[in-house]
Each structure stands twice: as structure tokens, then as C-alpha cells.
């Protein structure tokens, strides 16, 4: 690995510009991640937010999921009281690994990334299907030298499959981004960031009554859990927060990572047995309590 690539796979030690790509309406943790990003402005300067597609019981199509996510981002920014450029993303997934899906988000990333350099890259945090980022890299592969991609997607290398929601929706996009020349940081879901959970009593103690934003985050979480759980004893993953936290992980205060050879996801639902020559930063452990303290401190600071 070149010295330049190695440096870009390290947590930045200075303030940086960030864009966030999110399927915000899909889950309740995207809202926590957006709030954490905006409230970490001492180091992270949010330049734009992109709405990502998703398709499940909460949407009628990937396009509908993207539109709902766009509206949810705008709603949350209004609650926070922050004006940030928000762009609509892909209305479908990649048809193959060489064709892009055109969108405002993909075009904005292409134009925006051209303003940066390998020495001063734009950090791209993705917490949904990575279609928008893959499309931008297909449109202009040269932007790979000007960005660093941090993605919450896939499962741990030791897990039984790669059928994690973000990765499984658009395997082609995952393969495009992971095999591109862009420095890549992976935060796997099951087996790694699945450790980052919050419980009902914690929400009640730390968030309820502490302001409009955190009341919204807590009520969303309680409502979501009530839709599938009839017990008072539960925890809920808010793992999207960890992708933002990687940029704040000075001296590995919130998580542990290592340099690893890339293992591309296959269309058969497992990682390839062959290791790609490209090296990436692979997060393998979350320091749950340390990160939770920082999250709660920032989002309750109205």
C-alpha cells in the first residue's frame, strides 16, 4: 500500500468536509446518525446530504423509499434548525457494474469531489444502499482519488452471509465501490456494529424531556419497537451512528479497526473466497459505552 493511501485510511486528525448518504426513512437509526454528524461540527463540516433508495415494507419501490428519505431528512433538519443542501438520489439500483443510475446526488458528488484532492479529500459517509456513490464513481472514476468512502454495509467476514440490507439491495454497487480506487472503510453490521444498541430505560433516562430533537428520536424508537415487540425488555440497534463515529475515532476511542484485504460480496450472498489486491480499513470492534456517552452528550446539547 502506498503511503498516500495508508494515510487516507486513517482517522483524520483535523476538521474535514463530509457528505452523508442515507436511507433516512427506512430505520430509526439514520436520524441518530444525522443528528450526531451535525452536532459534531467541531470536526465534521457537513456539506450535503443525499437521499438513498430503499425497498421494503416501508416503501412501494426504491424510488418511493428515496423520496420518503428525502422528506425525512428535511423534516429532521428543520427540527435541528440547520440548513444543509439535500439532494435526491437514485430511483433504482444499478442494473450492472458498468452502468450508473443518474441522480442529483450522484451528479453533485461528481462535481463536489472534483474540488478536493488526495491530500485534502472529501469524506463520504454512506449508511444505506451505496447506489449513489457507485453511480458517481462510474460517471467519473477519477474522483476516487479525491474521496474517502466510509460505509456501513455487509456483515462481518466471519458471519454466515452478506445478506445485510444495505449490501444485499445493490450488490453491484457494493462491488463497484469496494473495488474502486477510492480508499474504503467498512463497518460490518452483524457481528460488529450490531453491538451498538440502546434500550427503553436508557431512552427514557437520557433523552425524554431533554429537547425537541431527542424527544423525536426517542419517540421514533419506541414506536418502531412497539411494531414488532410486545415485551418491556428490549434493545434496538442504532448502528448507523458508528459510521459517523469513525471520523471521530481519535486514538481508537470508539472502535478498533485494522487494514485488511478487500473481500467482495458475491451475488450468491457470501463474500468471495479470493482476496482483492486492494486494502481497506476494516472495523472489527465497537466500544459501545464510550461511543454512547459521546452521542448522548452531543444530541442532548440543545
Q: What share of the chain is helix, strand, coil (3-state, %, to 5)?
A: 40, 20, 40
- In the chain, where the domains are located: 3-299
The pTM of the whole model exceeds 0.85: yes
Band of residue 5 on the pLDDT scale cut at 50, 70, 90: confident
Place of cell 456494529: 193
| Dihedral-angle region of residue 191 (phi above 0 means left; psi in -120 to 50 means alpha; beta otherwise) | left
**Mean of per-residue pLDDT scores for the chain:** 96
- Residue-wise pLDDT tens digits, 213-244: 999 999 999 999 999 999 999 999 999 999 99
Whether residue 62 is predicted with pLDDT greater than 70 in this model: the reply is yes
Return d(Cα 188, Cα 156) in angstroms, integer: 5
Chain centroid to Cα 280, Å, comes to: 16
Return d(Cα 193, Cα 27) in angstroms, integer: 15
Whether residue 1 is predicted with pLDDT greater than 90 in this model: the reply is no
In the predicted model, what is the mean pLDDT of residues 45-73? Answer: 98
Residue 32: what pLDDT? 98
- Residue-wise pLDDT tens digits, 258-300: 999 999 999 999 999 877 779 999 999 999 999 999 999 999 9
Residue 85: what pLDDT? 98
Angle at 99 between CA 97 and CA 100, to 5 degrees: 110
- Residue-wise pLDDT tens digits, 159-199: 999 999 999 999 999 999 999 999 999 999 999 999 999 99
Residue 41: what pLDDT? 97
Residue 191: what pLDDT? 97
Residue 4: what pLDDT? 72
Band of residue 302 on the pLDDT scale cut at 50, 70, 90: low
DSSP 128: S
Residue 166: what pLDDT? 98
Three-state DSSP class for residue 108:
helix
Place of cell 445493490: 170
Residue 262: what pLDDT? 94
- Residue-wise pLDDT tens digits, 120-147: 999 999 999 999 999 999 999 999 999 9
Note whether 31 and 37 are within 8 A (CB). no
Say which residues have a Cβ less than 8 Å from residue 209's Cβ, sequence separation at least 6: 215
Note whether 241 and 232 are within 8 A (CB). no
Pick among 3.90.245.10, 2.70.98.60, 3.40.50.2000, 3.30.230.10: CATH of 3-299: 3.90.245.10
Whether residue 119 is predicted with pLDDT greater than 90 in this model: the reply is yes
Residue 8: what pLDDT? 87
- Residue-wise pLDDT tens digits, 27-55: 999 999 999 999 999 999 999 999 999 99
Amino acid at each position: 500500500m502506498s503511503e498516500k493511501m495508508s494515510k487516507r485510511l486513517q482517522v483524520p486528525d483535523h476538521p474535514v468536509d463530509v457528505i452523508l448518504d442515507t436511507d433516512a426513512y427506512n430505520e430509526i437509526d439514520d436520524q441518530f446518525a444525522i443528528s450526531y454528524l451535525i452536532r459534531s461540527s467541531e470536526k465534521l463540516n457537513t456539506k450535503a446530504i443525499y437521499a438513498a433508495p430503499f425497498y421494503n415494507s416501508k416503501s412501494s419501490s426504491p424510488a418511493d423509499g428515496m423520496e420518503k428519505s428525502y422528506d425525512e431528512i428535511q423534516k429532521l433538519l428543520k427540527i435541528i434548525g440547520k440548513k444543509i443542501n439535500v439532494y435526491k438520489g437514485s430511483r433504482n439500483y444499478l442494473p450492472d457494474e458498468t452502468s450508473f443510475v443518474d441522480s442529483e446526488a450522484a451528479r453533485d458528488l461528481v462535481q463536489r469531489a472534483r474540488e478536493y484532492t488526495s491530500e485534502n479529500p472529501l469524506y463520504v459517509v454512506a449508511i444505506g444502499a451505496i447506489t449513489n456513490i457507485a453511480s458517481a464513481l462510474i460517471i467519473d472514476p477519477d474522483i476516487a482519488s479525491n474521496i474517502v468512502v466510509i460505509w456501513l454495509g455487509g456483515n462481518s467476514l466471519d458471519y454466515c452471509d452478506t445478506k445485510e440490507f444495505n449490501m444485499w439491495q445493490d450488490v453491484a454497487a457494493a462491488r463497484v465501490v469496494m473495488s474502486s480506487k477510492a480508499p474504503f472503510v467498512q463497518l460490518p453490521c452483524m457481528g460488529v456494529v450490531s453491538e451498538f444498541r440502546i434500550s427503553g430505560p436508557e431512552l427514557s433516562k437520557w433523552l425524554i424531556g431533554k429537547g425537541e430533537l431527542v424527544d423525536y428520536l426517542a419517540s421514533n424508537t419506541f414506536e418502531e419497537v412497539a411494531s414488532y415487540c410486545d415485551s418491556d425488555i428490549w434493545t434496538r440497534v442504532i448502528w448507523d451512528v458508528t459510521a459517523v463515529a469513525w471520523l471521530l475515532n481519535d486514538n481508537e476511542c470508539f472502535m478498533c479497526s485494522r487494514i485488511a484485504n478487500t473481500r467482495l460480496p458475491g451475488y450468491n450472498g457470501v463474500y468471495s473466497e479470493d482476496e482483492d489486491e486492494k486494502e481497506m480499513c476494516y472495523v472489527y470492534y465497537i466500544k459501545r459505552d464510550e461511543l454512547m456517552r459521546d452521542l448522548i452528550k452531543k444530541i442532548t446539547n440543545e
